[in-house]
Amino acid sequence: MSTTGRDGRREIKGDGTRDNGRGGTRDNGRGGTRDNGRGGTRDNGRGGTRESRWRFRLTRLDGILLVGLVAAACWIWYRSAIGVAYRWDWPQALSTVFATGDAGETPFFQTGIYATLRLSLWGAVLASILGVLIGVGRYAGVRALRMFCGTYIQILRNIPPLVFIFIFYFFISSQLMPLLGLDALFNRPAEEATGWQRFLFGPPALWENLISGVLCISFISAAYIAEVVRAGLAAIPRGQWEAGESLGIPVLDRYRFVIFPQALARIAPPLTGQYISLVKDSSIVSLISVQELTFVGSEIANSSGLLFEVWLLVAFVYFLLCLSLSILLRQVERRMTRHFHQFA
């Protein structure tokens, strides 16, 4: 069975195939395969797979920007060698940065990297827990709880992070640590610390500074994560809330099985940016003597006089950490999005 249109080129057959006369065929049957004649195929059937050819091409504007960046880098290199009269000494910088102690201790620069990783890890965990709780409270129906969470968010988001760190460390932390009973933990002999405790929290002598730094960056990041969570909850259609309530699902199970799986797919991209910002913001706790990467880099640069080399190495390490985290979270985001669309 076939039908011919006015132009004499369109033909629809009984098997659901259409020839549009433009170099492509379309199958509207159960297979759901479409060939658009433009170098790509698309499968809209039950499998839900899609294949397309994508070629990376540089436009004229991209070429101009690349040439400009290379020219700027060459100019900075020339001015540092001629105008500033700075002599680069990368071999000495690398040997200084990765030099071990007299008794074979871990290089100072390497301990700073470990401290940054610990700060970022524990700060992200605590910020995620606080952010989710505050975000849910911000969206709750209890007015007092909404006001409390909203006040926390507004205060933390409108105070400079550096000012908050100074206030927290010099005024709050000195009162909070004894109140939580952490003095006995900090003052116990270092020999009592197990290998796992040293691996997860570092040397016992630096635990107090580490906990203060983690609390600082987690409280700051929790305010931003809470707003992301609140926006994700607000994006869920009202019918999903009413469906869970009409089925008699308890509140916790309703959030766990109905609301949060849908919200996570929506808030994953902004959360990725927030976690990367948390890694970079961990550098400001160096001002309260937390021996992380920025603090260690400052000490090495001032003692060796290799300012440019050391700070470029510090920037390169931060770049690697943030890029690795971005790639990892991007893969997680794709899996979550694919899982959400599969069961949606």
Whether 26 and 120 map to the same domain: the answer is no
Return the pLDDT at 43.
45
What is the dihedral sign for C-alpha 314, 288, 133, 153?
negative
What's the Cα-to-Cα distance from 178 to each of 8, 182, 187, rounded to whole Å? 88, 6, 12
Whether 264 and 321 map to the same domain: the answer is yes
Within 10 A of 281 (CB to CB), how many other CB atoms are there?
19
In a domain, 3, yes or no: no
pTM, two decimals, is 0.73
Q: Are 267 and 228 in contact (CB under 8 A)?
A: yes
In a domain, 149, yes or no: yes
Whether 190 and 254 map to the same domain: the answer is yes
Find the DSSP H helices in the chain: 60-81, 90-97, 108-138, 143-157, 161-167, 173-179, 183-187, 195-201, 207-234, 238-246, 251-253, 260-281, 293-304, 307-343
Quote the CA–CA distance of 173 and 201 in Å, as a whole number: 18
Return the pLDDT at 139.
83
Q: Please work out, in degrees rounded to the nearest 5, the angle formed at the alpha carbon of residue 325 by the alpha carbons of 320 and 331.
A: 130
Q: Are 314 and 294 in contact (CB under 8 A)?
A: yes
In a domain, 72, yes or no: yes
Torsion of CA 320, 322, 328, 333, to 10 degrees: -150
Crossing angle of helices 108-138 and 293-304, rounded to 10°: 150
**Residues whose CB falls within 8 Å of the CB of residue 132, separated by 6 or more in sequence, listed in order:** 225, 226, 229
Whether 134 and 209 map to the same domain: the answer is yes
Return the pLDDT at 40.
44
Return the pLDDT at 315.
94
Return the pLDDT at 71.
93
Q: What is the mean pLDDT of each run of 10 residues along the chain (344 residues)?
A: 47 47 47 46 45 61 89 82 73 88 81 93 95 90 90 93 88 72 66 77 80 90 94 87 84 84 86 92 89 92 88 94 92 78 58
Number of domains in the chain: 3
Return the pLDDT at 190.
66
Whether 135 and 269 map to the same domain: the answer is yes
Which residues constitute the domain of residue 259? 97-343
Burial class of residue 62 in the structure, from the number of CB atoms within 10 Å of its CB (0-12 exposed, 13-18 middle, 19+ buried):
exposed
Half-sphere exposure of 46 (CA within 13 A, CB side): 3
Whether 300 and 153 map to the same domain: the answer is yes
Whether 183 and 264 map to the same domain: the answer is yes
Strand order in the sheet with 11-12: 11-12, 17-19, 25-27, 33-35, 41-43, 50-51
Q: Are 222 and 135 in contact (CB under 8 A)?
A: no
Strands 25-27, 11-12: pairing kind = unpaired
